[in-house]
Structure 1
Amino acid sequence: MLKIFYPAILALGLATILFSCKDDDDKGPTEGVVTGTVLALDDARSVQGVSVSAFFADNNEPTGVSTTTNADGVYSINLMPGTYYLRLAKLGFQEVPPVGVTAIPFTIVEGETVTLDYDLVASAVIDGGAISGTVSSDSEMISGALIIATDATGSSYSAVSDAEGNYTILNVPAGTYTVQAWLSGYNGQSADGTVEANSITGDIDILMTAGVSATLDGSVKFLATGNKAVDVSLIHPSTQQVIPGLSVSTEGTFTMTDIPDGEYLARASYNNDTLVVDPDFIVKFGDPVVTVSGGAVTVTQGDATSGVLDFAVTNSVLLDNPSNTATEIVPVEVSAAGLTFTWKPYSSTSDYVVELLDINGNTIWGGFDNSGDIPVKVITTTSTSITYDGPALLNGRTYRWKVYASKDDKSNGGWSLISMSEDQMGLIKIIE
C-alpha cells in the first residue's frame, strides 16, 4: 500500500512582529482595528460572550489583548501595526482554531480596519464544564502564561492568562484534572480540580516560581539553500502550543534560555522565509523531544540522545496564484468562479497534494485522511495547477490553500513527503 508520512510539523507556522502600547502623547505609529461578527454555524445566530484574544503570528505567544462579543456577536480589538491571529473560545463551541491547527494570520496597518467573521462549530464535548483561576508569583499576577489541564488519560485542554492573571479553560469534560502553567523563566506548581457537567470549577489558582535557568543549545542545517533567519520554538506535546517565551531566531547555531522543567516538542521555521522543516528529517528521526529537569537538558531524536537540538530545513514549495506576497500577510481578493490554484515546480517531485482550509483552520477540500494513507482527496502528478471543485465558498470569507510535494520512495514503503508550502502563504478572500 502506498503510504504518506504526515508529521505533526505540518500544523504549525507564522511571521514576525512587535507589539507595544500607544503613547499618551501620540508619538509613534497609531493602532489599527480588527473587527467582525461571530455566528453559530448550525443556525447562523449571533453568539454573545465569545472570548476573542489576539496572538503574535510569529511565535504563537499572546499579546495580552482580548475582548468578548456583544449581543450581536460583534467584537473589535485595537492593535499596533503587525501580524497577528485570533483565538476564539465559548462554552459549548469548538475553539477556533482547534488545538494543533494553524490559525490564519492577518496584518494590522496603521489606522486601517481588518474585518474577520467567524462561524463557530458546536463542541464535540457534550455537557462540558470549565476551569478558572489565577496565575501568580510572589503575589504578582502573571499574564501570558499557557494553562493546561490534563486528565488521567492524557487528554488536555488549555487557555492563556489575561492581563490580570485570570484564566478560564472551556469545554472540559466532567472529570478530575491536574492544572499547570507554563511560561519562560518560571516553574509552575500544579493544582488539581474536579469538573462537573455544565458548571465552572473556580479558584484553581496556580503559583509560579521565578529563577529558571536551564539552557538549550542547537543548530539548524540548511539543505540545498543558503542560510537565513529561522525561528525555533518549544511546544507542549499534548496541545501542540508554543510555550510563551520559548522561541528564538537563528541563522545557524542558537541558545534558548530560561526553560522550565518539563517535556517539550521542538519545532522550527514559522516565518515566511521560503524554508520549511525537512519532512524527511522528521520521518527519519521523529519530532525532537526536549526534557528539562533541575536545569539539566536532554534532547531525544529517534534512538539518539544528546544535550543539543539540531534541525534540518529545506526550500518550501512556492505558491504562484492566487496568494498574498511573503511580506504582506493580507489575503488577496478572488472570485470563486473558476478558482484555480497554481504553484512552482519542485525538484524531484512525483506527486503534489493540494489542500484548502477555512478561517477556523478546518480542511474543507483536499489534504490527507486521518490515517495518513493515500487516499487523499486532491492529488496531482506532474501538473502544477488545479481548479477548485469543492464545497461552495462563502463571499467575504478568508481561506488558505497549501501544496505538499512528495516522491516515490521504495525504502519508505512507497510515498513520502519532501516539502510543502508555507503556512502564511496562499491567503485568499472570496468576493463576488
Structure 2
Amino acid sequence: MKNDCLRIFLLFVVMAFVSACGGCGAGEAGSECHPDDRDSCNDGLVCAAHASGDNLCQIPVGGACDLDDDPSYCQTGSACFKQRDESACLTTRGNTCSAEEAHCAPDLVCAEREGGTFACYSPVVVTGLVFDSEDRDAIEGAHVIALNEEATAVTDVAISGVDGSYALSLPVKRDANGKPLRQFFTLRASAQDYQTFPSGIRTALPIDASVGTDKDGKWRISTALTEIAMIALPESEQGRAAISGRVLASTRSDGVLVVAERDNKGISGVSDRRGHYTIFNVPPGGYAVRGYAAGVQLEPVSATMQDADLTGVDLQESDKGVASVSGTIQIVAAGGGLTTSVVFVVASTFNELAIRGEVPSGLRAPRTGTPNISGSWTIEGVPAGDYVILAGFENDFLVRDPDPGIAGTEIVRITIPASSAPVTIGQSFKVTAALATVSPGATEAELVTQKPMLVWGPLSNADAYSVVVFNAHGNLVWSDDDVAKPSGSTNVSVQYAGPLDDGMYYQFRATAHRRGSPNSTTENLLGVFYTE
C-alpha cells in the first residue's frame, strides 16, 4: 500500500513537471536547477529564481527565445519580444538593466535611478520646431543636440524634418517609480545659412527635465523653450559649405567645442554624444580645426575648404597633458557678500563689442552651479589654445570693471601651451557692481512691438551715461554717447532710435561715467529684446 502511494505521488510530480516545463529535459529552459551547480543548466541558460518560487533554468536577458513558447522561460524581469529578424528576452518596465548592455523591451530605455542603479523605463523625449525667426517658416535639416549644465552633449544629433520638427531622447535620472527627476539641460541648434543658437547675444535658457508629461508611453517635453527660432545670416554669408568629422578620444569625445580657425576668427560646432560634429557656413580657405573641452587634449587638423562640404575631418587625442590654470579676482564697490564665476572663452570666437564668445565644456569656475568665486579660482584640465578670461559674465549683479585708468580692469587674454604644467595668471582683475537693467530684457529676452524706451538703474557717483545697441550678428546698430543724467535716484532712460527688423534680436549696453572714465555697465546677458 505504501509503495502504491509512493508511485502515485511520484507520477503526480512528473505530471506537474511535464505540465510546467512542456516536457523539457534536465538542464533545459524551465527545468529545475540548483544555483550552486553550474552544470544544472545547459550552456546559454542561467539558474535563477522564478515567479513560481522555484529555481529554474532560464534564458538570460538578451538571449534568443521563441515567441510561440508559452511560457518562454525568459529570466525573471524579462519577456520574449520580436527584435529585428529574431526574438530575444528583453527587460520589462521597472526591472534592472545594464548601462553597457541595456536589452530593454521595445519603447523602453535603460535609465539611471537614484542610488546609482539602472532600470528600464519609458524614454524622455524632447520635441519642438526649428523655424526662421523672421517669417517663421520651418527649417529643414537643422542639427539639434541637448547639453547638460557643464555644456556637455548628452544626446546624439536630431535633424529637423521638412516641417521643422525634431525629437531628442534625453538621458534623465529617475525616481523609484521611473518619474524623471529635476535636472536641467539646454538646446543647441545649427543649420546651413543660419546663425547658430545660442550665440552672440542670444542665450539658451535651461529646461527642467521633470516637467515632462507621461503620454503615449513616453515622457514628453514640449514647451516654449523647445521651439527654436533661428536668425538667417546676411545674404553675403549664405550658401557656404560645412566641415564634419568625429572627435576620437578615449578621455572624452562628447560635448567638445570644435572650432575652424583662420586669421584669429573661428566658426564652431559641438560634438554629440558619440563624438560626431558639423560646422556649418564655413567660407572657402585654409583652416586649423581645433577641439576644446576640459580634460582632453586634441591634435589640431588642417583643412582646406572649397565650395563643397568637407567630411572626415577627425580629431585625434594628443599624448600631451592639459593644464591647471589659477588666478584671482577682486570685487570692488559691490556692497559686499557677492560672488561671481570665471569662464574661458576661445579667443577666435570672442566678440569685442558684445564681450562674449564660446565657452568650452568644463572651462568655468566653479565648474557647475551657482557662482561662488570671490577671490582665488582654479580651472582644471585646460587644453592648449588662446583664450579670453571673463569674470562677472553671468547674471550675478557683477560686471568687469570697465575703468581703463586703474590696474586690473583690462580684458585678460592668455595662451595655454599643450602641457600639464600648472599656469598661474599673475594679474588680478577687478569686477564691480552692475547697473540694474530695468527694461527691456530685465530677466530674459523680451518681445517688443515698437522701438522701446531703454531704461536702467542709476549709479550714485556717475555724472554721465552712454548706451550702445548691437544686433545678434554682433554689429553696432545705434548708440547715444550723451544720455541725460536724471536727478536723484531716478532710473536713466533714453528712446531707442535704431532699426527694429522682424525676427532680429538686439541688446542694449549702458555705461556709467565719472569724470570722463567708465566705471560700470549693465550686465552682459541682459537687456535683450526682439520683434516678430
For residue 255 of structure 2, the aligned residue among 144, 149, 158 is 144
1:321-342: CA deviations, max 9, x gaps? 45445xxxx556x663584332
Aligned pair in 2 of structure 1 residues 103, 322: CA closer, same or farther (>3 Å)?
closer
Identify, as 1 or 2, the structure richer in strand. Answer: 1
Q: Which one has the largest radius of gyration?
A: 2
> Which one of 311, 316, 324 corresponds to residue 207 of structure 1?
316
Indicate if the aligned counterparts of 1:144 and 1:244 stay in contact, CA closer than 8 A: yes
2:161 paired residue among 70, 74, 78: 70
Of residues 287, 295, 305 in structure 1, which corresponds to 2:420? 295
Query: Distance in 2 between the 1:273 and 1:87 partners?
Result: 23
Q: How many residues align?
A: 372
Query: Which digits, 9 at most, give the CA deviation of each residue in 1:261-306, with x for residues without a partner?
Result: 333221112322111111126986632223333334556xxxxxxx
State whether residues 290 and 298 of structure 1, in contact with CA within 8 Å, keep that contact through their aligned partners in structure 2. Answer: no
Deviation per residue, 1:166-194 (Å, 9 max, x gap) = 11112222223222212211211122222
Counterpart AA for 1:70:
G
Identity %: 23
Query: Cα–Cα, structure 1 residues 275 and 51, in superposed 2: closer, same or farther, change >3 Å?
Result: same
Aligned equivalents of 1:192, 1:93: Cα separation in 2: 25
Give the whole-Å Cα distance in 1 for the aligned partners of 2:294 and 2:475.
32
* Distance in 2 (alpha carbons) for counterparts of 1:83 and 1:52: 16
Q: Is residue 2:521 matched to residue 1:387?
A: no
> Could you state the TM-score of these two structures normalised by the residue count of structure 2?
0.60
Provide the C-alpha distance between the structure 1 equivalents of 2:287 and 2:501, rounded to a whole number of angstroms. Answer: 40
Q: 1:129 to 1:213 in 2, by over 3 A?
A: closer
- For 2:268 and 2:119, locate their aligned partners in 1 and report how far apart those are by CA, in whole Å: 38
2:244 pairs with one of 114, 129, 132: 132
Residue 11 of structure 1 corresponds to which residue in structure 2? none
Give yes or no for contact 1:40–1:121 (8 Å, CA) kept in 2. no
Matched with 2:343 is 233
Once the two structures are superposed, the pairs formed by residues 18-417 of structure 1 within 5 Å of their partners are 35-39=128-132, 41=134, 45-55=137-147, 61-65=151-155, 66-75=157-166, 86-97=187-198, 101-109=200-208, 110-111=211-212, 113-114=223-224, 115-122=227-234, 124-125=236-237, 127-138=239-250, 142-151=253-262, 153-197=263-307, 199-209=308-318, 212-225=321-334, 226-240=336-350, 241-249=358-366, 250-280=373-403, 286-293=410-417, 294-297=419-422, 307-308=425-426, 310-325=428-443, 330-331=444-445, 336=449, 339-355=452-468, 360=472, 366=478, 376-377=479-480, 379-383=482-486, 384-392=492-500, 401-407=507-513, 409=515, 415-417=516-518
Contact 2:127 2:167 in 1 (8 A): yes
Task: Name which structure has the greater RCO, CA cutoff 8 Å, separation 6+.
Answer: 1
Structure 2's unaligned 5+ residue stretches are 1-110, 173-181, 213-221, 351-357, 367-372, 487-491
Give me the TM-score of the superposition, normalised by structure 1.
0.72
- Provide the rounded CA distance (Å) in 1 between the counterparts of 2:459 and 2:345: 30
**C-alpha deviations, 1:150-175, integer Å up to 9, x for none?**
24x34432211111101111222222
Cα distance change, pair 331–214 in 1 and its aligned pair in 2 (3 A): closer
SS at match of 2:403: helix
Q: Is the 8 A contact 1:32 1:108 kept in 2?
A: no
Q: 1:391 to 1:230 in 2, by over 3 A?
A: same
8 A contact 1:184–1:245 mirrored in 2: yes
Q: Single out whichever of 65-74 and 215-224 deviates more from structure 2.
A: 65-74
Query: 1:73, CA displacement in angstroms?
Result: 2.8
For structure 1, the 5+ residue unaligned runs are 1-20, 300-306, 367-375, 410-414
Q: For each residue in 1:16-74, what CA deviation from the matched residue of structure 2 results, as whole angstroms up to 9, or x when unmatched?
A: xxxxx8858799xx979673441275x76432112234456x77x34444533321234
